[in-house]
Amino acid sequence: MIEVQHLTKRYGPVTAVDDVSFRVERGEIFGFLGPNGAGKTTTMRVLTGYMPPTEGRAIVAGYDVLDHPIEAKRRTGYLPETPPLYPEMTVRDYLTFVAKIKGVPRKERRVRVDASMERARVADMANRHCGKLSKGYRQRVGLAQALLHNPEVLILDEPTAGLDPKQIIETRELIKQLGGDHTVILSTHILPEVGQTCQRVVIINKGRVVAVDSPENLTSRLRGSETMYVQVDATSEDTKRALEAIPGVTQVSLADTRGTVNSFEVSSEAGRDVRRELAAAVVTRGWGLLELRPLRMSLEEIFLHLTTDESAAPPEPAGADLSASAEASADGQVGPAEAAHEPGENAHE
């Protein structure tokens, strides 16, 4: 449904997206995860046809976004980072206007506007001026606008940013409902969100893809080896020796000691399940086996591991730099440019 091939986008000397490739299947909910300045918004802008790529190509709903921009756009709903609203229009008028420029036939407009207000839960603000909406409601109107023409593909840039906790849960539920009928790409900084809503995730950092997988596979796969947590009531030296002797075990390290109870982290070769042997080694010696469980990396750990590991520079200043520059661009050129872009661009359709 969406295919991105060797996509590169440069802003002058800044390479925002660097040789990114991925595929999203029909009906999938696909998460974009990355720190500030990773290139999430830039990739989405290319996918929605708001900016041409410097290199590479993007195919959305069967149409190359460069060769067939109107066909691709017709099948795409886009919630930008800063939803472009007209402050002097009421929510209903604004959505009716968007329906018109998106080519929704006159007879269907009212029904579609009502349906999308219902879905994005903004019906209670239908007659409020857009300029007088709270940030959360502006976000919801942005979502209603993206859903208006019932597009096959939805591209949502931080759909839960600025929402209250109840609304975050409702929006996640809505996105889950949209999957299946729609193909959804969403970006987020919120790691649990990805685990809860997305079937697959791409983690990008400094414009490059560092991992693409399901949240479950990411959490189990990335260690490269399996690690078990074992708690035994026996002396630590004896236990360590016994565990190290098990075929397939590569490392045993003492994690904690409380009285006579010792806890170990036992690593084994990737793909090798040594739980039975671990249990047997302890129990046949008459020791107490108090706990045995696989240790998985949390999504947070994986994310930090993938996005801070390889660079020699201390991660904090680098992160701060990126977020500062991305924020400046979002507040400065990007927001207004987008607002100015949308109606102009669509008016041609």
Ligand X SMILES: Nc1ncnc2c1ncn2[C@@H]1O[C@H](COP(=O)(O)OP(=O)(O)OP(=O)(O)O)[C@@H](O)[C@H]1O
**CA 23 from centre of chain:** 14
**Total of chain residues touching ligand X, rule CB under 6 A:** 18
34 contacts which partner out of Mg ion, ligand X, none, CB within 5 to 8 A by kind? ligand X
Tell me the C-alpha distance between 64 and 58, whole Å.
Answer: 6
Q: Return the residues of window 8-67 that contact Mg ion according to CB under 5 A.
A: 40-41
Tell me the C-alpha distance between 65 and 9, whole Å.
Answer: 14
Shortest Cβ distance from residue 16 to ligand X (Å)?
3
Tell me the C-alpha distance between 21 and 293, whole Å.
Answer: 36
DSSP 205-250: ETTEEEEEE-HHHHHHHTTSSEEEEEEEES-HHHHHHHHHTSTTEE
Tell me the C-alpha distance between 238 and 52, whole Å.
Answer: 64
Q: Give yes or no for residue 205 binding ligand X (CB under 6 A).
A: no
DSSP 134-148: -HHHHHHHHHHHHHT
96 contacts 53 by C-beta, under 8 angstroms = no
Among 40, 73, 112, 182, binds ligand X (CB under 6 A): 40
Among 102, 232, 329, 338, binds ligand X (CB under 6 A): 329
- Of 152 and 158, the one with the shorter C-beta distance to Mg ion is 158
326 contacts 157 by C-beta, under 8 angstroms = no
Q: Which stretch binds ligand X (CB under 6 A): 8-16, 135-143, 193-201, 298-306?
A: 8-16
Q: Give yes or no for residue 38 binding ligand X (CB under 6 A).
A: yes
Q: Return the residues of window 236-295 that contact Mg ion according to CB under 5 A.
A: none
**Total of chain residues touching Mg ion, rule CB under 5 A:** 2
Shortest Cβ distance from residue 179 to ligand X (Å)?
22
Q: Return the residues of window 224-253 that contact ligand X according to CB under 6 A.
A: none
The secondary structure element, H or E, covering residue 72 is: helix 69-74
Tell me the C-alpha distance between 37 and 60, whole Å.
Answer: 24
- Of 41 and 171, the one with the shorter C-beta distance to Mg ion is 41
Q: Which stretch binds ligand X (CB under 6 A): 103-111, 117-125, 293-301, 321-329?
A: 321-329
Q: Which stretch binds ligand X (CB under 6 A): 91-99, 129-137, 261-269, 322-330?
A: 322-330
Q: Please report, as ranges, the residues that interact with Mg ion according to CB under 5 A.
A: 40-41
Q: Please report, as ranges, the residues that interact with ligand X according to CB under 6 A.
A: 11, 14, 16, 34, 36-42, 322-323, 325-326, 329, 333-334
